[in-house]
Every structure is written in structure tokens, then in C-alpha cells.
């Protein structure tokens, strides 16, 4: 019988361009790493931040905000097995023609919920090394405080 479990690692980013090194400890009963999921919560009020604008856009679409980049690696043969970006979706309502003045699209509608990205990695090593690099602070050229959560799904 396969049992899925998750290890949640939380850390705070509070400096522009900060690089955070961390470790995720897996239990010895873990057999396979099967997924990675990212989440964040802002602590800083971003309404007061003004990003540099090289050109004015003529479209209604907004560029998604890149918070940072994550890399995970194992000491086993897989080495770097995950590289991803943590970003916000600033165009949630666009492309959904069912949105109108009475009903607005929410992040949980139309199967827009986030699910873990599937990875299949041997969990022979019980320590996973992680590196997160802040990008939003670099873009706004100021310290942006936010909490990052890394969800590492595994099989027992």
C-alpha cells in the first residue's frame, strides 16, 4: 500500500537579492520523492512598491510577478532534481470568458488550484539541499519581506 506524505519547510526572505540555503530532512521510511509544491505569503505591502518600467504595454495583460527561484538537489545520483520559479498570476481573469460583472474568477475556480509538480527521485538520501534566490527585491530595488513554503511530497 502506497502512502503519500509531505514535509513542509518554511523560511523568510527579507533582503533584496537574498540567497537562502536550507536543508529538508526526510524520514528514513521515505522511498521516493514524488512532488514539489511552492507557496508564499507577502509580509510587505507591495502597493507602495514601484517597479522599473522599460516600456509601456498596449495590452491589458500584466506580467506575472517573479518572487524567486528554487533549486533542490539530492546527494544521490539525481543531484539537482528540481528547478522552479515562485511567481504570482496577475492575469487570473483574462482568457476566462465566463467572468462578468456578477461573477469574478477566483484562484480556486476552473481548476486553477495549484498542485505539486511531479518528480520521481529515489529518496536514498535523507537530506535534500535547497537554494532559494530572491528576484522580486532585485526588480523593485528594495527589501520585500515574504514567507516561502516548500512542500516536498514523498512515498513511504
20: its cell numbers:
537562502
Distances (CA, A) of 119 to 65, 99, 114, 116, 137: 25, 34, 15, 9, 29
Q: What pLDDT does residue 153 have? A: 93
pLDDT surpasses 90 at 149: yes
Q: What pTM value is reported for the model?
A: 0.76
Which of 121, 115, 129, 125 lies closest to 154 in space, CA to CA? 121
Mean pLDDT of the chain: 80
Residue ranges of domains in the chain: 4-44+64-89+108-155
The CATH fold assigned to 4-44+64-89+108-155 is Jelly Rolls (2.60.120)
Q: What pLDDT does residue 106 have? A: 61
In angstroms, the CA 114 to CA 37 distance is 8
Amino acid at each position: 500500500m502506497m502512502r503519500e506524505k509531505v514535509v513542509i519547510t518554511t523560511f523568510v526572505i527579507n533582503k533584496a537579492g537574498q540567497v537562502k540555503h536550507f536543508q529538508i530532512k526526510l524520514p528514513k521510511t521515505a522511498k521516493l520523492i514524488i512532488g514539489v509544491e511552492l507557496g508564499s505569503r507577502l509580509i510587505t505591502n507591495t502597493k507602495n512598491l514601484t517597479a522599473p518600467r522599460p516600456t509601456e504595454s498596449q495590452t491589458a495583460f500584466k506580467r506575472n510577478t517573479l518572487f524567486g527561484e528554487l533549486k533542490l538537489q539530492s546527494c544521490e545520483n539525481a543531484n539537482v532534481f528540481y528547478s522552479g520559479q515562485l511567481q504570482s498570476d496577475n492575469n487570473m481573469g483574462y482568457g476566462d470568458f465566463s467572468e462578468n460583472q456578477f461573477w469574478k474568477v477566483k484562484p480556486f475556480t476552473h481548476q486553477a488550484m495549484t498542485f505539486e509538480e511531479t518528480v520521481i527521485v529515489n529518496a536514498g538520501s535523507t537530506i535534500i539541499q535547497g537554494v532559494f534566490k530572491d528576484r522580486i527585491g532585485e526588480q523593485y530595488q528594495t527589501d520585500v519581506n515574504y514567507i516561502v513554503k516548500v512542500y516536498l511530497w514523498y512515498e513511504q
